[in-house]
């Protein structure tokens, strides 16, 4: 049998293991955790029976990482099995940043349990128990798990058609698993259990609630430390913490959970973004509209919201014996405006935009700061167009979203979601629409992912996933094609031949919602907003009382230049004022002492310990202007 490793073909007897190869060759990674042969991933101890090129995988390869995560999940399950006799095992897969395992136990795990489990894991890792693969027939496997009273495993087997199943054994612990795994538990050195939580069996809320333990593993001590540090940094960036510290917003038990109160500084940022948003939409041929917040029941019957979205809607209020609902979406309102006239093919496309506030009932357990709320303002728009305009419109929307993401410094990924199992409309229409989206994406040139079956029931969509400064992704803007509303509402236009034709409708946001976007933005910038967004751009800091007159005049001058300035004329030392301005993340500080007042100059300090020295007023204004400029797109207007 011929196996080549590192472009070095060597004959090996059939049944050689990657570990053998590793030991008989120099120059191969000594930290390999698994191998790849002809596209499939192998344990290092798995005998090779076919020719091919052998590659070794370390923790730095995605597949190697997965193997380590998975093996660590097994190690944890072993520890839990030993410490909690009678525990039932469910599943324990690797996930993007670690692993988890679901258990059914007598009582939920406590933080002390986690520590104990972790200690037991370390012990078993030190034992360097060999991890051995073996196979049982379907009947043997079923019998084995039935006898062991492991009903979740029994259910898993019953759901598969396979005639045999692979198992892994380490010490006394056995788990059914596809593998592959590390050769022995001594490979697992750097791991930490993070938290435990309830999780439904198979994600179904009607089924048993199991206890899930999450953990993380790393290739070495430093990587583990770095990962834990990243978690700490995420805490420092948390928009709920910064929102309070920077006095941006609050939520009140008294008023209701999930409802946001924007304080002056938070409102200031939101206002800047909204003005920016409106200007850009007018520039791009959108018309902005306003619609009421409560609408009659019949409209939501017609739209299908009461049928499909009722559980997310607030209970109705009765007026003159008719039910009115707070709107959970803006589309029905925009459709009514569209339908207030007969529309010609020449009128299209019509783009109605609105910063439209909607109310949705969200289950109490899902609320989260600004990111998941019950009342929020979507940067919504609905585009009504002819089928032949669809591609150009989508292209325009992608371009607008790109502009927005760049303006706020977000990197992003695009994702195309196709037809889900439960959906309306003909295959032909779906195919055409999906292809149109795909063409627009191709033309755009940026890479994109495809999520098969991820679309809405009424049409395919493109999602924009924001990547923040920590590399975390957030669901942001979304563009959805809709075949449902045009049918339900008979949204038509008169074509050039005088016949009625059905419109195509696009729902889109380019930020997501103001609340969620602001939340993302706070975390992205760690509260240190660029000057154009900063609620306060300049703090004027007189050194002693003698400069108060000059400082006040300076502050007034800055305000008259449309700069957002605040004056700190409290009786405090300059170090104290600077410290506070720094912690409030104000971009510029104009320090004025005796010298500056006499010479009509300012000592300019920039956020982050940068002293730019003394400047004339004109210079200082010029300096600040560059940073406070509002981004504009270089549109080719025709």
Which residues are tagged catalytic? Answer: 331, 360, 378, 380, 382, 461, 507
493 or 590: whose CB is closer to RNA? 590
Q: Of 319-327, 425-433, 566-574, 626-634, which segment contacts RNA by CB under 7 A?
A: 566-574
Strands 98-104 and 209-218: antiparallel
CB of 57: closest distance to RNA in angstroms? 27
Of these, 10, 58, 142, 200, which contacts RNA (CB under 7 A)?
200
Q: Distance between CA atoms of 176 and 169, rounded to whole angstroms?
A: 9
Residue with smaller CB distance to RNA, 176 or 251 = 251
Enumerate residues 298-317 that contact RNA by CB under 7 A.
312
Site for RNA in 122-161 (CB under 7 A): none
- Nearest distance from C-beta of residue 88 to RNA, angstroms: 15
Contact with RNA (CB under 7 A) among 128, 221, 500, 595: 595
Enumerate residues 506-535 that contact RNA by CB under 7 A. Answer: 509, 512-513, 515-516
Query: Which of residues 618 and 637 has its CB atom nearest to RNA in the complex?
Result: 618
Angstrom distance (rounded) from CA 502 to CA 524 = 42
**Rounded CA gap, 457 and 419, in Å?**
7
Distance CA 257, CA 494 (A): 47
Angle between helices 514-525 and 264-283 (to 10 degrees): 110
CB-CB contact of 483 with 448 (8 Å)? no
Instruction: Of 485, 506, 539, 576, give the one whose Cα is nearest residue 302.
Output: 485
Please select the residue that binds RNA; options are 545, 549, 561, 629, rule is CB under 7 A.
Answer: 545
402 vs 515, which CB is nearer to RNA?
515
Kindly tell me which residue out of 40, 544, 556, 600 binds RNA, with binding defined by CB under 7 A: 544
Beta carbon of residue 535, minimum distance to RNA (angstroms, whole number): 18
Pick the closer one to RNA by CB: 185 or 378.
378
Per CB under 7 A, contacts with RNA among 239-268 are 240, 244, 251, 253, 256-258
The least CB distance from residue 223 to RNA, in Å, is: 20
If one counts every other C-beta atom within 10 angstroms of the C-beta of residue 585, the result is 19
Structure tokens at 427: 């295959």
- Would strands 2-5 and 52-57 be described as parallel, antiparallel, or unpaired? parallel
Give the residue among 176, 130, 171 at the shortest CA–CA distance from 157.
176
Nearer to RNA, 47 or 454 (CB): 454
Structure token digits, residue 294: 């409560």
Whether 59 and 84 have beta carbons less than 8 Å apart is answered as no
Site for RNA in 325-384 (CB under 7 A): 360, 362-369, 371-374, 376, 378
> Which residue, 493 or 529, has its beta carbon nearer to RNA?
529
Instruction: Kindly tell me which residue out of 5, 603, 620, 624 binds RNA, with binding defined by CB under 7 A.
Output: 603
Q: 566 and 555 in contact (C-beta within 8 Å)?
A: yes
Under rule CB under 7 A, how many of the chain's residues touch RNA?
A: 71
Q: Which of 209, 289, 429, 467 binds RNA (CB under 7 A)?
A: 209
Q: What is d(CA 562, CA 624) in angstroms, rounded to the nearest whole number?
A: 12
Q: Which of 183, 215, 535, 593 binds RNA (CB under 7 A)?
A: 593
User: Judged by CB under 7 A, does residue 93 bind RNA?
Assistant: no
| Gap between the Cα atoms of 567 and 602, Å rounded | 14
Is the bond into 121 cis (omega within 30 degrees of 0)? Answer: no
Among 543, 551, 558, 624, binds RNA (CB under 7 A): 543
Contact 28, 56 (CB under 8 A): yes
Q: Which parts of 405-464 interact with RNA (CB under 7 A)? A: none
> Six-digit token pair at 421?
């199992």
| Of 15, 171, 198, 409, the one binding RNA by CB under 7 A | 198
How far is C-alpha 92 from the chain's CA centre? 23
Do 5 and 25 form a contact (C-beta atoms < 8 A)?
A: yes
User: How far from each other are the two terminal CA atoms of the chain, in whole angstroms?
Assistant: 68
Of the residues 19, 83, 154, 197, which one makes contact with RNA according to CB under 7 A: 197
Pick from 203, 292, 445, 498 the residue near RNA by CB under 7 A: 203
For 13, counting Cβ atoms within 10 Å of its Cβ (0-12 exposed, 13-18 middle, 19+ buried), the class is: exposed
Question: Is residue 471 a contact residue for RNA (CB under 7 A)?
Answer: no
Stretch near RNA under the rule CB under 7 A, chosen from 46-54, 148-156, 334-342, 573-581: 573-581
* 3-state SS track over 521-547: HHHHHCCCCCCCCCCCCEEEEECCHHH
Number of Cβ atoms within 10 Å of the Cβ of 321: 5
* 274, 376, 491 from 354: Cα distances, Å: 10, 13, 19
Stretch of residues binding RNA (CB under 7 A), selected from 42-50, 138-146, 199-207, 335-343: 199-207
Q: How far is the CB of 544 from RNA (least distance, A)?
A: 3
Out of 435, 576, 629, 630, the only residue in the binding site for RNA (CB under 7 A) is 576
Which 221-240 positions form the footprint of RNA (CB under 7 A)?
240
Rg (CA), the chain: 31
CA-based max dimension of the chain:
94
From the list 216-224, 265-273, 333-341, 576-584, the region that binds RNA by CB under 7 A is 576-584
Using the contact rule CB under 7 A, the part of the chain among 156-164, 282-290, 340-348, 602-610 near RNA is: 602-610
Nearest CA to 269 out of 634, 633, 630, 620 is that of 630
Cis upstream peptide for 349 (omega within 30°): yes
Q: Rounded to the nearest whole angstrom, what is the least distance from the CB of residue 588 to RNA in the complex?
A: 11
Output 61 or 596, the one with its CB closest to RNA. Answer: 596
Output the smallest distance, CB 533 to RNA, in A. Answer: 19
By CB under 7 A, tell whether 94 contacts RNA: no
Among 9, 15, 108, 171, binds RNA (CB under 7 A): 108
Region of 137-145, 157-165, 263-271, 539-547 interacting with RNA (CB under 7 A): 539-547
């Amino acid at each position: 049998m011929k196996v080549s490793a590192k472009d070095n073909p060597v004959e090996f007897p059939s049944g050689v293991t990657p570990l053998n190869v590793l030991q008989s060759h120099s120059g191969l990674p000594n930290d390999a955790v698994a191998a790849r042969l002809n596209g499939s991933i192998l344990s290092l101890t798995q005998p090779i029976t076919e020719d091919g090129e052998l590659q070794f995988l370390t923790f730095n390869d995605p597949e190697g990482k997965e193997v380590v995560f998975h093996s660590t999940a097994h190690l944890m399950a072993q520890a839990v099995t030993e410490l909690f006799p009678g525990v039932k095992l469910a599943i324990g897969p690797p996930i993007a940043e670690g692993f988890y395992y679901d258990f059914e136990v007598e009582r939920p795990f406590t933080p002390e349990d986690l520590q104990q489990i972790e200690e037991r894991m370390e012990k078993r890792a030190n034992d360097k128990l060999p991890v051995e693969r073996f196979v049982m027939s379907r009947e043997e496997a079923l019998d084995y798990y039935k006898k062991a009273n492991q009903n979740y495993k029994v259910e898993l087997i019953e759901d598969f058609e396979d005639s045999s199943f692979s198992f892994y054994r380490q010490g006394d612990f056995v788990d059914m698993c596809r593998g592959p795994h590390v050769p022995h538990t001594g490979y697992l050195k750097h791991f930490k259990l993070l938290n435990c939580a309830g999780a439904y069996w198979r994600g179904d809320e009607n089924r048993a609630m199991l206890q899930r333990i999450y953990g993380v593993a790393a290739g070495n001590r430093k990587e583990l430390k770095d990962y834990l540090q990243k978690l700490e940094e995420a805490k420092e960036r948390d928009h709920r913490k910064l929102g309070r510290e920077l006095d941006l917003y609050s939520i009140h038990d008294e008023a209701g959970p999930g409802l946001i109160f924007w304080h002056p500084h938070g409102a200031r940022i939101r206002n800047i973004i909204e003005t920016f948003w409106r200007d850009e939409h007018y520039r791009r041929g959108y018309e902005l509209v306003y619609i009421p917040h409560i609408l009659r029941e019949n409209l939501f019957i017609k739209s299908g919201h009461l049928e499909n979205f009722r559980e997310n809607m607030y209970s109705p209020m009765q007026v003159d014996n008719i039910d009115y609902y707070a709107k959970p979406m803006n589309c029905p309102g925009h459709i009514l405006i569209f339908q207030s006239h007969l529309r010609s093919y020449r009128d299209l496309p019509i783009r109605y935009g609105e910063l439209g506030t909607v109310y949705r009932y969200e289950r109490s357990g899902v609320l989260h700061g600004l990111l998941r709320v019950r009342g929020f303002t979507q940067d919504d728009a609905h585009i009504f167009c002819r089928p032949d305009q669809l591609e150009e419109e989508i292209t325009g929307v992608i371009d607008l979203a790109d502009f927005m993401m760049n303006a706020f410094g977000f990197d992003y990924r695009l994702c195309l979601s196709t037809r889900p199992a439960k959906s309306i409309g003909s295959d032909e229409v779906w195919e055409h629409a999906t292809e149109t989206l795909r063409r627009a994406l191709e033309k755009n040139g940026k890479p994109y992912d495809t999520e098969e079956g991820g679309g809405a029931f009424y049409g395919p969509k493109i999602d924009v996933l924001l990547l923040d400064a920590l590399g975390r992704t957030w669901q942001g803007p979304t563009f959805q094609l809709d075949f449902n509303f045009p049918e339900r509402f008979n949204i038509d236009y008169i074509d050039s031949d005088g016949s009625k034709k059905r419109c195509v409708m696009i729902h889109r946001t380019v930020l997501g919602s103001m609340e969620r976007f602001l939340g993302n933005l706070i975390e992205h910038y760690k509260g240190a907003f660029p000057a154009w967004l900063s609620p306060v751009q300049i703090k004027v800091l007189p050194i002693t009382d003698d400069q108060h007159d000059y400082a006040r005049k300076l502050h007034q001058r800055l305000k008259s230049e449309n700069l957002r300035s605040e004056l700190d004329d409290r009786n405090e030392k300059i170090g104290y004022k600077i410290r506070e301005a720094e912690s409030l993340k104000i971009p510029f500080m104009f320090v004025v002492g005796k010298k500056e007042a006499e010479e009509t100059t300012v000592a300019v300090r920039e956020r982050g310990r940068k002293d730019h020295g003394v400047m004339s007023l004109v210079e200082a204004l010029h300096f600040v202007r560059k940073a406070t400029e509002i981004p504009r797109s270089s549109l080719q207007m025709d």
